[in-house]
Structure 1
Amino acid sequence: MLKFAANLTMMFNEVSFPERFELAARAGFQGVEFLFPYQYDVTELKTQLKHHQLTQVLFNAPPGNWLAGERGLASLPNRESEFRQSLELVIEYAIQLECHQVHIMAGNRQTELSEGEQQQQLIRQLTYAADKLSDYGINILIEPINPFDMPDYFLKYISQAENIIREVNRPNISIQFDIYHCQKTQGNILHNLNHYFKNIGHIQIASVPYRNEPGLGEINYPWLFSQIEKLNYRGWIGCEYHPAGNTTEGLFWLNKVNHNLSIAY
C-alpha cells in the first residue's frame, strides 16, 4: 500500500502554516512533511498533529543561513560545531513531533576544498550525526538535488549518495529519492529506483519540468506508482510540489490513481 504525505511547506499555502494541517487532514492525508519547522513553537505543531491525527513523516535539519544562500552545513569546513549543535534542535523537534526521519542537507560546493576532501568532511559529520541520532530512533536522509534548481549544491547524483552511505556505514542513513530531481539530473527513473532501492528510505514526487502536481508533466505517474507498489515499498511518498492552482482542486491526480492502487493518503 502506497502512503502519501502532504508537504505543508509547498501545499495548502492558501492559508497560514498552522492552518495547513487541518486542510491536509480534510483532504484525506494521514501524514505530513515540511522543510524547516523552527520558526514555529513545537508545542503548537504537536497539537496540530494530534488534533488532526496526522503522522509527522519528515522535516529538515537547520540549513545554515538560508536567505544568504546556504543549503546545509554538513560538508562545510569550519562549521562542525554549528552543525553538531543544530542536532540538539533536531532532536527536540523530532521527539516532540514523534518524527523518525530528518533530511540533513549536504551544503554547497566549497571551492577551497577538493571534491574528495569535501565529501570526506560530509562523511565525518554524517557519521557523527548518525551515531547521535540513533539513540533517539531518528533516521538520516540525504537527497541528491538537481543542478538546474540548485547549481551550487554539493550532492547531485544518486550514486554519490550511495557511496556516502557506504562510507558512513550506519543502519540509520538512507537516500531521499526525489523523482523530480532524478528525472531532471539523470532520467531512467525506474532503473534508478530498482538499482538503489535497498538504500531508499523516502520518496518524493512532483511533475517535470515545472514541479507541479504529478500528472501535469512528462512523467507517467500512474504507471510509475504501480511499479513502486510492485517493489513492495513500505515508506512514505512525500508530495513535494508547487500546486498549479488551488491545492485541494489539484488533488485530481491522487483521485485518479486511487482507483487502481492500494493507497492510503
Structure 2
Amino acid sequence: MASSDKAPRLALPEFSLKDRVVLVTGAARGLGLVQAEALLEAGATVYALDRLPEPSPDFTRVQKRAAEELGTSFEYRQIDVRDVPQLNEVVKAISDQHGRLDGLIAAAGIQQETSALDYTAKDANTMFEVNITGVFMAAQAAAKQMIRWGRGGSIVLIASMSGTVANRGLICPAYNASKAGVLQLGRNLASEWGEHGIRVNTLSPGYIVTAMVEALFEQYPDRRRDWPTQNMLGKLSEPREYRGAAVFLISDASSFMTGSDLRIDGGHCAW
C-alpha cells in the first residue's frame, strides 16, 4: 500500500474544542481548575474567572502545559461574580479580543454548614447571592456576547446532587436550596436562549474529594467512613472524574442537549 502524506482524521471530532473560547468561573482551584484543564486538552482557549487574588499553585502548572504542550492558552482574571458591572466588562473584553465567545462553565460557589434554626438571614442571602445570582449573572454576561456574535454557544451551570436530595448527616439547607435553584435556572435559561443557538445544561456532581473535603474529614472522621456507603459504587469521586463531562457538555458532542441535568453521583440519588 502506498504511503500517504495526509494527516490522520481526528477521532470523534465532535469533542474537539479547537478555536473555541471558553470561560470557567471558580477555576482558580478545585473542580473548576480540573475541568478547565480538560477543555484545554480538547483545544479550547480558556479563561479562569475567580475572586481569589492569586490562583492556586497548580494553576501555573496547567497554564504552562497549555502553552508548551497543548498549543493553546490559559489566562486568569480576578473577578467576584457578585460584581456584575465588572463581570460584564471582563467578559466583553475577552469576547472583543477573540471576536467570539463559545462556552461557559459556571463553577463558582460557596458552602456553609449551619443548622436551619441557626442560619442568619445575612448568611443565607450571601449563599444565594453567590450560588444563584452569581451563576445567573455569569450566564447572562456570556449569553450577551454569544448573541452578539451570532454563533450560539454552550453554558454549563454547576449544580449538585444536593439540589435533588437532602444530604443525610450534612446540615446545609441554604446550600442545597441554592443548588436546587441552579437546576431550575438552567431549565429556564435554556428555554429563553435556545432560539439564539445557546444550549444551557446543569452538571450535578456527587461527593468529591477535594482539599476542602479532606479538611472536613479531619473534623468529622465518620464522614470519610459513611459517605462512600451512601452510593451504589461505595466510593467517593475525584475531580478528574468530571473532566469528560465538561468537554461533552461544552462541545458539539452534546449538540442536541439543552435544559437537562447531567447527574454524576455514583448512584447516590438512585437508591
Fold match by TM threshold 0.5: no
- Which structure: larger Rg? 2
Q: TM-score, normalised by structure 1?
A: 0.37
Q: TM-score, normalised by structure 2?
A: 0.36
